Amino acid sequence: MSIPTVFADSEVRDVLEKAIAGDRLSFDDGVRLFATHDVAAVGWAANQVREQRHGNTTYYLKNRHINYSNVCKYDCFFCSFFRKSKDDEGAWEWTVDQVLDHVKDFKDSGLQEFHIVGGVHPDLPFSYYTDMLSALRDAHPGVTLKAFTAIEIAYFAELTGKSLTEVLSELKDAGLGMLPGGGAEVFADRVRYKVCRDKADSDRWFEVHEAAHALGIPTNCTMLYGHIETHEERVDHLQRLRDLQDKTGGMLSYIPLRFHPDNNLLGSKKLGEPSGLDVLKNVAIGRLFLDNIPHIKAYWVMLGIKPAQLALAWGANDIDGTVTWERIYQMAGAETTPEEMTEQRLREVVLEAGREPVERDAFYNVIEREPEPVAT
Ligand code: V47
């Protein structure tokens, strides 16, 4: 495949040619892609690579979020979700029974995944987390428990005085199936110092993911973009993810997370939001730069449905899931996005974008479906 005539004069033609030939992009290539205004050419190349790897397939899954508590000992400036104390307005913390009650209607519903994250709770014992996982595993056998960001895992190690491997092994024994990609934010120290200085640093984030991979626990990864980070800091972030993946191969999916500015300290600085083009560029450059991470996710809850459809033509091959009851984005200004989608609507969204919806499990195994009934 060569560059079409319409993009022949693109200032990033050489970079795009490398990417579609399967050659690895350098740090400088990545910075040039973020800097260019030639976004159509970048999107075209990302779509080529997406189609080389996944054809027209767009994965989705039936999942459900469990945000068990928003009480958090940290106060990250981008976060609208946390409350310092359980007595603060808008705070909640569920017992294990309340967690079970919250998801009881999903028993035997074909659900593939619970996505479980909370704040870094200052008081709950480690046994709360193992009990929650084993209770969910027993009540919902077959549903993968994708639980706890690297920040929560790092805190469990601090709380118990155990190693990351010990903590992760105990969680795995209790039912942990994989880790979500959160807590990565932007790895550069300058950014972390300004937006989330108290929590685990980037080296620790990587130690958690590496320890998980060594135990056979796959993970996802993210980048929270569109606030104070520079293009160089974005590429540095992607390069560190690519380096880990070269080492372990344990990451399934990259999810670029668009910053939402409502109800948080960073948003109150009137930073605004990333532009529509920046949103698409982050998807496309994720696809082009992360040549060793198989899946790029257009997380519709964060993007909105229409931008998520566009992202499916800009390198993304996954749209996440039915996602009932998600709080992190709803509290940060994504209220215009619905809180859940039926499987049928999710499939329509993918079809409207000209893609083929394919149901998957948490590990990207395809779920065989009954053929659609033929109208007679
Ligand atoms: O780590 C917090 C981000 C993340 C805001 O692994 C914000 O499949 C934007 O990681 N504006 C948690 N972003 C969500 C997450 C995730 C989402 C979907 C799928 C997967 C997966 C993982 O949300 C946090 C933080 O980076 N976040 N506040 C905000 N105001």
Q: How sure is the predictor about 107, in pLDDT bands with cuts at 50, 70 and 90?
A: confident
Q: How far is the CA of 369 from the centre of ligand 1 (A)?
A: 30
* Residue 373 clears pLDDT 70, i.e. is over it: no
Q: Put residue 81 in one of left, alpha, beta given phi > 0 → left and psi -120 to 50 → alpha.
A: alpha
Residue 8 lies in a domain: no
Task: Indicate the pairing of strand 144-147 with strand 113-116.
Answer: parallel
The CA 331 to ligand 1 mean position distance, Å, reads 12
Q: How far is the CA of 332 from the centre of ligand 1 (A)?
A: 10
Q: Which amino acid is at 245?
A: Q
Atom of ligand 1 nearest to the CA of 151: 1
Where residue 281 sits, what CATH number does that domain have? Answer: 3.20.20.70
Residue 139 in any domain: the answer is yes
pTM attached to this predicted model:
0.96
Percent of the chain surpassing pLDDT 90: 83
Residue 99, pLDDT > 70, answer yes
Torsion angle (degrees, nearest 10) of CA 355, 339, 110, 67? 130
- 136 Cβ closer than 6 Å to some ligand 1 atom: no
Task: Select, from the ranges 1-10, 71-80, 164-173, the one with the highest average predicted confidence (pLDDT).
Answer: 164-173
**Residue nearest atom 17 of ligand 1, based on CA coordinates:** 182
Range 88-113 average pLDDT = 93
Number of domains the chain contains: 1
Q: Please check whether residue 330 lies inside any domain of the structure.
A: yes
Mean of pLDDT over the chain: 93
To test the pocket of ligand 1, the residue of 81, 224, 293, 299 to mutate (highest count of ligand atoms within 8 Å of its CB) is 224
List pLDDT tens digits, range 244-285.
999 999 999 999 999 998 888 888 777 778 899 999 999 999
For residue 235, the enclosing domain spans 59-359
Q: Which atom of ligand 1 is nearest to the CA of 261?
A: 30
User: Residue 275: inside a domain, yes or no?
Assistant: yes
Flag whether 223 is in a domain. yes
- Counting from 1 in the atom list of ligand 1, the atom nearest the Cα of 262 is 30
Nearest CA-CA partner of 167 in 204, 117, 205, 130? 130
How many angstroms separate the alpha carbon of residue 134 from the centre of ligand 1?
Answer: 25
CA of 270 to the centre of ligand 1 (A): 20
Q: How far apart are CA 296 and CA 298, in angstroms?
A: 7
Atom of ligand 1 nearest to the CA of 219: 6
User: Cα(281) to centroid of ligand 1, in Å?
Assistant: 18
Asked, for residue 287, whether it belongs to a domain, the answer is: yes
Residue 219 Cβ < 6 Å to ligand 1: no
- 287-320 per-residue burial string, b: 16 or more CB within 10 A, e: under 16: bbbbbebbbbbbbbbbbbbebbbbbbbbbbbbbb
For the CA of 180, the closest atom of ligand 1 is: 6
Rounded to the nearest whole angstrom, what is the distance from the C-alpha of residue 28 to the centroid of ligand 1?
Answer: 27
Contact 61, 321 (CB under 8 A): yes
| Protein residue whose Cα sits closest to atom 5 of ligand 1 | 79
Ligand 1 atom nearest the C-alpha of 331 is 30
Q: Does 119 map to a domain?
A: yes
| Residues pairing with 93 in the sheet | 69
Whether 43 maps to a domain, the answer reads no
Tens of pLDDT, residue by residue over 302-349, are 999 999 999 999 999 999 998 877 777 677 766 556 777 899 999 999
